[in-house]
Amino acid sequence: MNTVKKLQPLKSVKPIQQVLTGAILISFSAVWVGLADVPATTSAFYRVFFGSLFLFLAAAFSGELKQISLKQVVPYSLCGFLFALDLYFWHESILLVGPGLATILGNCQVFIMALCGVLFLGEKLTRRFVFSLPIAIFGLLLLIGFNWAELSQSSIKGIMYGLLTALSYALFMLLLRRIQAQKEANLVYSPLLFISAFCAAFLAVPLLLTNASFAIPNLESFGSLLALGLFSQAVGWIMIATAMPKIPVSITGFVLLLQPFLSFLWDVLIFSRPTTLIHWLGVIVTLAAIYLGVSRKQS
């Protein structure tokens, strides 16, 4: 355990600064995907493949690999499968509707998790949640448009992929929470390592069975995919995971909103997404509703 503490990054950095830095790093995920200029499944594969390499080094030097038991392999593999679905749908959505909208749609997993809590875990449906759900839908309509007939087929497909991202991510988070609640050791790197490795294996299957390619076209694409794996899959999540238990729940909710907001901002600044005041209003309304869903419990 002492070895783990020595290896943990930015020990002198305050938890809030650490979690904000992690959120900023993760907010660039969709940007790296857009710049990589490879098929969605290919970018998703290299995200977790490169990420697992960095996480393996961290887990090996921390001694965490010795603390993993075989009984954890099955739930980790299932987590990897759900995470593979999440990344596949999200990366497809990014290429069809842009990083900003794809990320905001994916973060609607807050509402799916809450409904799963009501249906399967015996949690109560709060007034705040009931109030936040129609607000989120209204915000998304401001962002997407009220007339679906005017949307292109690719846009509609991208929106559907974004909603499937939310569903698969919610299921992934529910299973991960269950695993973390039962774990015997205070592990930081190895859970994400095994999930990333299994995820890469599952994503490799469609690449092998279809015409998609593992090929990375150029050095710029390689750099984008490497940054995606290092900063988005490894460093960003490690910083958030180690800092979250040390900050208030209200700050946690704010951080969860910072990532999709910044992703939308990068979409506008880097990819010149056409954005009106109505679109910005939709972003603010949707994220406000997600915050209500996130902060429905102060525990």
pLDDT, residue 78, reads 93
CA angle 170, 152, 215 (to 5 degrees): 65
Question: What residue numbers bound the domain in which 49 lies?
Answer: 14-123+154-267
Residue 98, in any domain of the structure: yes
**Band of pLDDT at residue 293, cut at 50, 70 and 90:** low
Place of tokens 């050791």: 185
Residue 108, in any domain of the structure: yes
pLDDT, residue 49, reads 95
**Band of pLDDT at residue 299, cut at 50, 70 and 90:** very low
Residue 107, in any domain of the structure: yes
How many other β-carbons are positioned within 10 Å of the β-carbon of residue 156?
15
pLDDT, residue 298, reads 44
pLDDT, residue 263, reads 86
Distance (Å, whole) CA 110 – CA 101: 16
Q: Which residue has the higher pLDDT, 69 or 154?
A: 154
Residue 277, in any domain of the structure: no
The pair of structure tokens assigned to 135 is 């607000």
Distance (Å, whole) CA 227 – CA 72: 29
Distance (Å, whole) CA 174 – CA 177: 5
The pair of structure tokens assigned to 189 is 């790197």
pLDDT at 8 over 70: no
Distance (Å, whole) CA 159 – CA 233: 24
Residue 289, in any domain of the structure: no
Distance (Å, whole) CA 216 – CA 42: 9
pLDDT in tens, 206-219: 888 877 788 899 99
What percent of the chain is modeled with pLDDT above 90? 25
Residue 240, in any domain of the structure: yes
Distance (Å, whole) CA 40 – CA 94: 8
Residue 299, in any domain of the structure: no
Residue 273, in any domain of the structure: no
Question: Domain tally for the chain?
Answer: 1
Mean model confidence pLDDT for the chain = 82
Cα end-to-end distance, the chain, whole Å = 27
